[in-house]
Amino acid sequence: MKLPEVLTLGTFRQLYANGTSPLDVLELLEKRWRDFEKTGNPVWISRRNLADLLEEAEALVQRKNAGATLPLYGIPFAVKDNIDVRGMPTTAGCPEFAYEPKEDAAAVALLREAGAMVVGKTNLDQFATGLVGTRSPYGACRHAHSAEWISGGSSSGSAVAVAAGLVPFSLGTDTAGSGRVPAAFHGLVGVKGTRGLVSTRGVVPACRSLDCVTLFAHSLGEASELFALVAKFDPLDPYSRRAKAFLRPAGLGETERFSFGVPRESDWCFFGDQEAERLYRDKIDALVKLGGERREIDDRPLREAALLLYQGPWVAERTAAVEAFLQSHPDKIHPVVRKILESGKEKSAVEAYRGAYALEEYKRQTEEIWSNIDFLLLPTAPTMYRIAEVEKDPILLNSRLGTYTNFVNLLDLAALAVEAGEREDNGLGFGVSLIAPAWSENQLFRWAALLQGEEPVSPPLSGGDILFAVCGAHLRGQPLHGQLLALGATFVEETRTAPEYHLFALPTDPPKPALVAVAEGRGCSVEVELYRISQKGLGCLLTKVPAPLALGAVRLQNGREVCGFLGAEGSCRGAEDITAYGSWRSWRKRDCS
């Protein structure tokens, strides 16, 4: 048995479906991990020994045989070493800072409960301070496919571990772009959700109020599935937030067509990198060809907000996170990181308040941006550098990499980083990010799948969402579909009901159908579309639906019941029975011919 070069969740599921044991897979992986270590690329800070992993795998087999639901059964993953894993030291990239956590970080615990196995802790820019991957006493993490180029940071090891085929997914963190920049350089999906959507309990803070736990994976579908598992409210984390519905800006109208924002070309910033500019322009053109409307925005408020992170008072929050260690062990901190942390001591409370006021001003100024577009499409990083270049000018080149990422957490936005082609000059990756306001993850996954040509993915937010069936005017391409989009609903699949319904055309404007349940043996199967929608969104939709329709349970052809609008039998007298057409679309085509 030979493992493929690229590991995905599907790789392991196929192996286990064919009868392979997780214990056998781990032994193959152990050889791959040992071989990679011979390259000298310091991805791992610590790695679990094979005996411990085999013991955990055996326990997983027993859980599965006992009937446990394990969606990530036997799937290995890596964890950035500022995130706690029980039984392994947390170093945050500083050996002298290391401690032994008593429990897993919240996100790690959720993944382990789902059957995944932590195999090691990965290297990072020390104390998660950097976007380059070179600020570590364990050595500079090199790009997975070219030793002279940076990996991107601070979640450097986590990205390299996935890109190099050591694990199928990994956890990182993101304060200024650390979960996105390394994804861009390696052609990965990097998920940075709304602040607080994934608990940061058990994470060594960089900026406690801004930090996010992030994911690296190879595909949007797998990234969405993983995100759904960790995006859970955590009552033990004071920064955890309950998911909310995201409403599409009303100004965009009730239409399937989408609009995306890009900066004015005169404001584009690539620091002379023509390859990055070419690839970015290609993705813009691709979205236009897919039906998107390009709208230029004034990105000045975004750029000015970004400056607050390192040039404003938020740098003091980094200092606060490790202040005691900075005072007692200054010589044990990486020189570049120490310089940044010490600069935080110079910030006053007055400056902090002024910064907070300025940030609110920038938030208000950006409201106009979000009222006119579905999402921003930006380069994840404007360029990339060789390790030698970063070592000569570590502060300036690092700050350039955050040009299009530093403002995101400050302004409470969600971002999804995806690959955007291969550079011709070095053969490495370039990436773009789709960015939108908080709680927009469902929409971002949808637009990203369209951009990448992937199958539409199920929405990542599962807590509180409802699976909802529509059969008429709310279908894609129909007059009221925009109501669903405006309420944050996300398409899941097209399917049919069980053969126990009649379909009537109501005399309304615009025309709407009524799906009516009938006695067994008298009905037919009707075409429906399934959407995920929040409870709040469904409540808003309910106010728009007139009698004789009401909310009820719709049985699908696979026997599953979902929510949908139904008409009561006998309530549609005088309406045309269109059941024979099998779908609203078929009847409408007949009606328009």
Average pLDDT over residues 63-74: 92
pLDDT tier at 571, thresholds 50, 70, 90:
low
The 10s digit of each residue's pLDDT in 492-519 is 778 899 898 999 988 888 888 889 988 7
pLDDT for position 200: 98
Domains of the chain, CATH where assigned: 9-241+249-452 (3.90.1300.10), 465-592 (3.10.490.10)
C-alpha span between 510 and 522 (Å, rounded)? 28
Backbone angles phi, psi at 349, to 5 degrees: -65, -35
Judged against a pLDDT cut of 80, whether residue 1 lies above it is answered with no
Asked whether the predicted pLDDT for residue 537 surpasses 90, the reply is no
Beta-carbon contacts of 51 under 8 Å, excluding residues fewer than 6 positions away, are: none
Q: How many CB atoms lie within 10 A of CB 256?
A: 12
Q: For position 223, what pLDDT does the model report? A: 95
Cα distance between residue 575 and residue 455, in whole Å:
38
Measure CA 521 to chain center.
Answer: 45
At residue 252, the pLDDT reads: 47
Q: For residue 292, give the DSSP letter.
A: P
Range with the lowest mean pLDDT among 3-7, 241-245, 434-438, 509-513? 241-245
* 560 compared with 275, residue with greater pLDDT: 275
pLDDT value, residue 111: 98
More confident residue, 150 or 513: 150
Asked if residues 153 and 381 have their Cβ atoms less than 8 Å apart, the reply is no
Per residue in 578-592, pLDDT (tens digit) is 999 999 989 888 755
Helix (H) or strand (E) holding 276: helix 274-289
Left if phi > 0, otherwise alpha if psi is -120 to 50, otherwise beta: which for 19?
left
Over the stretch 97-147, which tens digit does the pLDDT of each residue have?
999 999 999 999 999 999 999 999 999 999 999 999 999 999 999 999 999
Q: Which residue has the higher pLDDT, 477 or 4?
A: 4
Give the confidence band of 520 by pLDDT, cuts at 50, 70, 90: low
> Is the model's pLDDT at 438 over the cut of 90?
yes
Question: CA-to-CA distance for 442 and 532, rounded, in angstroms?
Answer: 9
Higher pLDDT, 202 or 251: 202
Write out 145-209 in H/E/C secondary structure. Answer: CEEEEECCCCCHHHHHHHHCCCCCEEEEEECCCCCCHHHHHHCCEEEECCCCCCCCCCECCCCCC
- Of residues 504 and 434, more confidently modeled: 434
348-360, pLDDT tens digit by residue? 999 999 999 999 9
**Which residues are catalytically annotated?**
80, 154, 178
Q: Residue 239's pLDDT is what?
A: 97
Mean pLDDT of the chain, nearest integer: 92
* DSSP strand pairing (293-297 vs 259-263): parallel
Reply yes or no on whether the pLDDT at 568 is more than 80: no
